[in-house]
Amino acid sequence: MAKVTELVARLAAPAVEAAGCELWDVEYVREAGSWFLRLYIDKAGGVDILDCEQVSRAVSDLLDEADPIEGSYTFEVSSAGAERPLKRPGDFARFMGSPVLVRLYRAQEGRKEFAGYLAGYEDGNIAITVGERTLAFPKAEVALCRLRVEF
């Protein structure tokens, strides 16, 4: 049986695209004793509250009809955000050269976070450029890689 997030992504994608947006991610998580189903959307020029409302209404109706989730949950739609996590190979390809923050499970060189520019991605392994150095992080050591906004 497919995971809830995969089922919801397949169900929601056409409605999200019809609203002129891209489905960035689907999350189904338990927080403080309650279940949350979250859709993260994106579009050129950024997502606004009206985009979220349009997608929420359309997908909510589809979820009510298909009923892919047993039990109650809170449904939310929001922007993927400027500092969104990169998860899929396509995410890394799309943002190659962009400023990122890599968070590790265990400290290296006395720290767990490294800010730099995405320089490579292969099979989950990440490389970033920090100044003149290129640092490589094996997939098993990376807790998170997300875009980083520079001011």
CATH number of the domain that residue 124 is part of: 2.30.30.100
95 and 55 share a domain?
no
What is the tens place of the pLDDT at every residue in 91-132?
A: 999 999 999 999 999 999 999 999 999 999 999 999 999 999
Full-model pTM: 0.85
Nearest to 19 by CA among 75, 77, 65, 66: 77
Domain count, the chain: 2
Q: Which domain covers residue 137, as residue numbers?
A: 89-147
The domain boundary, picked from 47, 79, 111, lies at: 79
113 and 69 share a domain?
no
Nearest to 148 by CA among 128, 121, 124: 128
70 and 101 share a domain?
no
What ranges in 1-151 are assigned the alpha helix state H?
Answer: 4-18, 49-66, 89-94
Strands 133-137 and 142-147: unpaired
24 and 66 share a domain?
yes
The pLDDT, as a whole number, for residue 2 is 64
Quick check: 46 pLDDT over 80?
A: yes
% of the chain with per-residue pLDDT over 90: 93
The pLDDT, as a whole number, for residue 151 is 85
What is the tens place of the pLDDT at every residue in 70-86?
A: 889 999 999 999 999 99
CB-count burial class (<10 Å; 0-12, 13-18, 19+) for 141: middle
The domain boundary, picked from 39, 56, 79, lies at: 79
The domain boundary, picked from 79, 101, 124, lies at: 79
